[in-house]
Amino acid sequence: MTSLMINHPINSMASSVIRTLSQSQHMQLPMLRPTRMHALAIKSDLEIMRQQMVVVDDDESYAMKGGEGPHSYAKNSIIQKGLIDGSKRLIHEAISQSFDPKEHVHGNDEPSKPICIADLGCSTGPNTFFAMQTITEAIQQQFQSHGLASQIPDIQVLFNDQVSNDFNTLFKNLPQQRIYYATAVPGSFCGRLFPKQALHLVHSSAALCWLSKLPSEITDPDSSACNKGRIHYTDAPKEVAEAYATQYSKDMGNFLHARAQELVENGLMLLQFPVSNVLLDSDVDPAKVFELIGTCLVDMAKVGVISEEKVDSFNVPLIYPSVKAVKEILRGCDECFSIEWMEILEFKNMVSLPTVQIFISWFRAALQGMIEKHFGAEIVDELFERFAEKVKEFPDIMDTDKLKLDVLFVLLRRKNKPRP
């Protein structure tokens, strides 16, 4: 919204600099672009900023399909019935046990500060809106049950996802009857997104399973972890799974390190993400689905629709870690976070058996962006038609009883920092 005639002009050279800079999707060390005049004065700040702030604008994993069309996330994320109720109970209990409203109430003179809640990996809605409604209601009830109903501070929700996420759709569909101020923050949650100690509660549902990038060795022909002819670590040599696990561990470490700086002391983090619980040979690995999609791509390469090299260089940056691996990673951050609660939810209790068409839609909403980028938009329809045929051949992939997938719910608390 800007006047007709009174806008900030820039010269076209400066404009082209901006555009060139923004073409790369990585921003490792934000800094001032100093003019000659300011270069010296700013140098010391620059050093400070370099040390303090590492922002990653976006990473290799792709945002969900935007908009509200038939293949969009907005239209293909409402089918997984059951999980919202499961997580609702856990969120209410977690906040009831661990969120202290007295920390947010001050004397008459001091203005009450807003409660800031971030949802990391929010996509376009509506799921994020339900989660935020659950959390804000639970917080309200905490104030009420402590006799502080009249002193509830303003609540600000910060919706975060990749820069490539469709935030326009998110904003358009914000619930009208929300009781919070809505804000969006673009960028990868493996880096810093918020100022120091700006958050009171972090929520992330079903997002931490995406790697920030694919391990380079899986596309390196000279590496034993090279993943030729497959698009995931399922049924791949163990070196491939190890490369995924190493990247996951790095990402989780970066995630926890960034949040440790952004959360206030005693701040809470509610995380939910899928984990694998494959124990027996007869179990269906939840990542089996990528093996099926991989064979579709190999078939398409055989008939010349796409090249073999393209298939070899494509991998899905998603991991279903074991609970044991997650626990180890969290133990590595126990100086910053205490584990307040950990609960395994069985996927089969949350999601009823979908139809083939619905099952395909879930994966299309999630994968379409990265498939289009790698292979081109023209192959997407054929790929998912072939995938549907494979799913019909192997219906166990949709059988939530046989699929060894769980959901891990974790509540972490930011520990107090040691005082000097």
Pick between residue 211 and residue 412 the one whose CB is nearest to its own copies.
211
- Counting Cβ atoms within 10 Å, is residue 275 exposed (0-12), middle (13-18) or buried (19+)? buried
Pick between residue 175 and residue 237 the one whose CB is nearest to its own copies.
175
Strands 263-276 and 337-346: unpaired
- The least distance separating its own copies from the CB of residue 116, rounded to whole angstroms, comes to 8
- The least distance separating its own copies from the CB of residue 312, rounded to whole angstroms, comes to 22
**How far, in Å, CA of 214 to CA of 62, rounded?**
12
Pick between residue 226 and residue 271 the one whose CB is nearest to its own copies.
271
Pick between residue 211 and residue 329 the one whose CB is nearest to its own copies.
211
- The least distance separating its own copies from the CB of residue 63, rounded to whole angstroms, comes to 6
Place of tokens 């569909």: 173
CB 147 within 8 A of CB 102: no
Q: 239 by DSSP, 3-state: which?
A: helix
Q: Tell me which DSSP letter residue 419 carries.
A: P
- The least distance separating its own copies from the CB of residue 251, rounded to whole angstroms, comes to 12
In angstroms, the first-to-last Cα distance of the chain is 48
Pick between residue 53 and residue 339 the one whose CB is nearest to its own copies.
53
**How far, in Å, CA of 50 to CA of 63, rounded?**
28
Burial profile 233-244: b = 16 or more Cβ within 10 angstroms, e = fewer: bbebeebbbebb
CB 216 within 8 A of CB 222: no
Tokens (6 digits) for 188: 């990868």
Pick between residue 30 and residue 237 the one whose CB is nearest to its own copies.
30
Q: Supply φ then ψ for residue 151, to 5 degrees.
A: -120, 25
Which of 220, 171, 201, 190 lies closest to 340 in space, CA to CA? 201
Pick between residue 123 and residue 227 the one whose CB is nearest to its own copies.
123
Pick between residue 105 and residue 174 the one whose CB is nearest to its own copies.
174
Strands 263-276 and 405-414: antiparallel
β-partners of residue 155 are 115
**How far, in Å, CA of 378 to CA of 361, rounded?**
17
- The least distance separating its own copies from the CB of residue 287, rounded to whole angstroms, comes to 10
Which of 115, 91, 119, 103 lies closest to 202 in space, CA to CA? 119
Q: 191 by DSSP, 3-state: which?
A: coil
- The least distance separating its own copies from the CB of residue 65, rounded to whole angstroms, comes to 11
Pick between residue 226 and residue 350 the one whose CB is nearest to its own copies.
350
Q: Using alpha carbons, list the distances in angstroms from residue 318 to 7, 167, 304.
A: 44, 22, 27
